[in-house]
Every structure is written in C-alpha cells, then in structure tokens.
Amino acid sequence: MASAKIADVGNSLLGWYDAHARTLPWRAPPGSDAVPDPYRVWLSEVMLQQTTVAAVKDYFARFIERWPTVEALAAAEDAEILAAWAGLGYYARARNLIACARAVAAAGAFPDTEDDLRALPGLGAYTAAAVAAIAFGRRAVVVDANVERVVARLFAIAEPLPPARAAIRAATDRITPERRAGDFAQAMMDLGATVCTPREPRCLLCPLSDVCEGRRLGIAAELPKKAAKKPRPERTGTAFWIERDGHVLLVQRPGNGMLGGMRALPDDGWSAKADGTGNAAFPLASGTALGAVTHGFSHFGLTLTLRTASLAGGPPDGEWWPVARIGEAGLPTLFARAADLAMASRSD
C-alpha cells in the first residue's frame, strides 16, 4: 500500500468512528470531554478476551456495581470474585484479575505505559497495549481478532494464521497514528465487529474500501486464512451429587488447572489430557446415574456423567451448600449444568 494511502487510513477511520462508534459501558465516547477510567478499560479488556461484547456487558455491569474501583475489587474475597465470574469462562482470567487488582491497589494506581502495564500479573501484549492506548492515550499497536481480520484484508496478507501475525502486527504499526491512538484502536475493533465481519464483509459501507488491497484483488472475504485445525480430543468424566439434609457437597478445585479455584461438584479427576477414573478422590458409595452433560473447552470436549453418591468415610474438605440456593454457588457452566440435571431429577 502506498504511503499516501497509509496516511489516509487513520483520518478516514477516525472520521467514521466519530459518527459510528458503538456505545459501550466502559468507553468514553469519541469527541467527549470524558476521560477513560483505566479500571473500567482494564476490566472490560480482560473480560473481552475470547468472549463477545454481548456476553460481557451484563458481567461488566455487575462487577462495576459490586466493585466500583480497583481498590474495592482488590479487597474482595477470592471466592466472591470467582463466583461472580462463573459462566464467563476461561477462569484463569479471573485468577489473573484478582492478582492484578491487588498489585494495582498496592501501587496506588495503574501504570500508564505499555511496558509497565506488561509487568502486571496476567497482562499480555494485547491487554497492555489496549489499556495504554485507550485509557492513557499512548501510541500502542493494539491487535485483537477483529483488528487481525481488518488488517489482513486491508494489506491482502495471504499467509495463514498464526504465522501471519508478525506481518499483521507490522502492518498495524504502520497505520497506527500518533494522536488518538485509543480511538483508532477502538475504531478498528468496531470496524471488524460491524462492517469487516468474518463472513460477507460489508465493503460498500467500509470507510477503507478505497484503499483495501483485499477488496481490490477480490479476496477480502477469504482473509485472514487459517491453518487447518487439529481434531479436538473428547474426554469423559464423572461428577458426584452428594446430598444430605437438604445440602449438597461442593469442593474447591485446585488453584492451578482446569476451572482453578472454583466451587464444583466432586469429580473423578478428568483433565484435558486424560479421561476420569470413575472414582472420586475420597471414599464414596456410588448410587444412581442421573444422566450426562457435555461441554466444550478451548482444547477438548467433555462428556460428564452425573451420579448420586453418599460418603463412605469421613467428609472431605468442602462445604455443604443449601440445595435450594445452588444457583448462588457460582458454579462454572459445566457444573451448573450438572446441578440443573440433578435438580430436574429431584422434581421428577
């Protein structure tokens, strides 16, 4: 792309953004005097990793209502935060959220440079760049999945992902302006989400259509190209519904690993690498099979059989949770589905 056309990208895109920016609860509208709140920007960016805006909005609103500042979030109990996160998925983000909030609260404020943001727990290259640009107006190269798609088409980068990411980042760097870098980053995200969509891009509405190499070559809809996915392994496991006096036994999963630190039903040790053993880690008298639930994790699928059981020895570490309030336990989606199955069987 010629240098004159590169210079046009920023102006064209920012003009489009001023007129068409999405209204989102964590944003300062373009052209307003509002100053972006670093806490809200950071919280939204962590929540939005591998998750849609539609899925995040309600969670964001509940977090902000309950913990309106990073100091309030830092002071909360781990279990409270993990329970509030339940259902949003990718639970390592919640653990990193807790660690980062406490580091920021201890420091007194968010750092305002990309390098210093990278030093915070759980902030990778993308999140650090996004917070630096959006919250602090720093020039930073912000590349998420939407930006990858826009830039791959804009420059007709035909190399498949993930190897193409280096070229996409370099091209994004070329078009990122010194001024309004935060608005530019958000404009790129909005363009990818609403116009330069994965399927059937709306090129006639795009402010960059005149300089888009992918459109000129007739290959925009084919980009970015992706390497063939490897088959996803399928795992099996068993969870146990252990009920006593109107309460069900819940355990806390280990801090590291799948669904780390979350409340859950006891299970048989299934993992991304192996099926479960069929037996819990403590003595049980197994009862009736109630059915099975399926769940797709990022790297494998799981079919989890649910069985009733009773303790055959002393109670393990855990808590007896009122069955009538199981919806308040903050179970991750997999175990919430299993609990729904158990509740349905009780009412049959």
- CA 236 from chain centre, in angstroms, equals 25
Query: Quick check: helix, strand or coil at residue 277?
Result: coil
Tokens of 324: 């009538």
Angle at 108 between CA 102 and CA 110, to 5 degrees: 80
CA–CA separation, 65 and 73 (whole Å): 11
DSSP structure class, residue 34: P
Q: Where in the chain is the domain with CATH 1.10.340.30?
A: 3-222
What topology is assigned to 234-347 in CATH?
A: Nucleoside Triphosphate Pyrophosphohydrolase (3.90.79)
Q: Which residues pair with 264 in a beta bridge?
A: 251
List active site positions: 45
What one-letter code names the amino acid at 285?
A
Strands 247-252, 301-311: pairing is unpaired
Query: Quick check: helix, strand or coil at residue 115?
Result: helix
* CA nearest to 213, candidates 275, 162, 151, 261: 151
* CA nearest to 286, candidates 304, 271, 306, 314: 306
Tokens of 103: 């580091």
For residue 163, is the peptide bond before it cis, meaning its omega torsion is within 30 degrees of 0?
no
Q: Where are the alpha helices (DSSP H) in 108-211?
A: 114-118, 125-136, 145-154, 165-175, 181-194
Per-residue b/e over 320-334, b at no fewer than 16 CB within 10 Å? ebebeebeebbbbeb
Strands 247-252, 319-322: pairing is antiparallel
Q: For each of the chain's 348 residues, which pLDDT tens digit applies? A: 555 566 688 889 999 999 999 999 999 888 777 789 999 999 999 999 988 999 999 999 999 999 999 999 999 999 899 999 988 888 889 999 999 999 999 999 999 999 999 999 989 999 999 999 999 999 999 999 999 999 999 999 999 999 999 999 999 999 999 889 999 999 999 999 999 999 999 999 999 999 999 999 999 999 999 888 888 899 999 999 999 999 999 999 887 778 888 899 999 999 999 999 999 888 888 789 999 999 998 889 999 999 999 988 776 788 999 999 999 899 999 999 999 999 998 765
Q: Where in the chain is the domain with CATH 3.90.79.10?
A: 234-347
CA–CA separation, 302 and 237 (whole Å): 7
- Ordered DSSP codes for 182-249: HHHHHHHHHHHHHTS-SSS--GGG-TTGGG-HHHHHT-GGG-S-BPPPPPPPEEEEEEEEEEETTEEE
Q: What is the CATH number of domain 3-222?
A: 1.10.340.30
DSSP structure class, residue 318: -
Is residue 261 within 8 A of residue 91, CB to CB? The reply is: yes
CA–CA separation, 36 and 59 (whole Å): 19
Tokens of 221: 């809809």
For residue 162, is the peptide bond before it cis, meaning its omega torsion is within 30 degrees of 0?
yes
Q: How many CB atoms lie within 10 A of CB 347?
A: 5
Is residue 179 within 8 A of residue 13, CB to CB? The reply is: no
